[in-house]
Amino acid sequence: MPKRDPLLVKLGQSLKRHREAAGHSQEYLAELADIDRTYVSDIERGNRNPGIKNIARLAKALDITTAELCEGVDL
């Protein structure tokens, strides 16, 4: 199994933290953001490198800014 990118792992942790704080399931967040639930799961596990449009959609669905979702996600 390939090693996961630490940057993607941090983004996934941030997404999961914000999703849980909002009280949303992965399925409900995916519905709000109009993306597939498995994609949300893959992002949270650090297995996906989402594009900026999907990051912005997820942030909007969580009612936070893209910057808030990406806070602490740096090299």
Average pLDDT of 3-28? 97
Give the domain ranges of the chain: 6-66
Q: Which two tokens stand for residue 19?
A: 């999703």
Is the domain spanning 6-66 CATH 2.40.128.520? The answer is no
pTM (2 d.p.) = 0.94
**Residues 44, 16 contacting (CB under 8 angstroms):** yes
- pLDDT for the residue 5: 95
Query: Does residue 1 carry a pLDDT above 80?
Result: no
Question: What are the pLDDT digits (tens) for 27-65?
Answer: 999 999 999 999 999 999 999 999 999 999 999 999 999
